[in-house]
Structure 1
């Protein structure tokens, strides 16, 4: 069974595209995102908020 749904794939692709064009900004500070891993995390977060099939994020310590 797939861990991620279609919505997650679309949101991550959109976030990576924005990051590549220099348009993606982080949530709190509003700084420009330059790391592709951070762009993926933002895309997955957006997919979760939109109700897509995405596993829960790892617990933060």
Structure 2
């Protein structure tokens, strides 16, 4: 009986030692990734695109902003921002393409 308990303790200590070693390896891999990330110095959105979004937000707050074909009143701020960016894209202003669905 004592031999089984002793072997169980040894195997348990090996497992914890291997887990500790694994966590140390993961931590060392993360630090270089932070240094590799660069901030882009160029603007993603043009200032005039921001003005489009501002006007759409004002319209939404007044209650005059309507959505596409249905003409329903827009009450969600995120939807108002999306409409502003969409209009900026149509006008040819500097705005990244919309995120892909799916």
Q: Which residue of 2 aligns with 1:36?
A: 77
Q: Within 5 Å, which residues of 2 pair with 1:13-28?
A: 13-28=54-69
Superposition TM-score, scaled by structure 2 size: 0.58
For structure 2, the 5+ residue unaligned runs are 1-41
In our comparison, the structure showing a higher alpha carbon Rg is: 2
When the two chains are superposed, the root-mean-square deviation of aligned CA atoms in Å is: 0.7
Separation (CA, whole Å) in 2 of partners of 1:29 and 1:15: 17
Moved over 4 A (4+): none
Aligned length in residues: 61
Shift of 1:7: 1.6
For structure 1, the 5+ residue unaligned runs are none
Superposition TM-score, scaled by structure 1 size: 0.95
Separation (CA, whole Å) in 1 of partners of 2:48 and 2:69: 24
Relative to total residues, which structure has the larger helix share, 1 or 2?
2
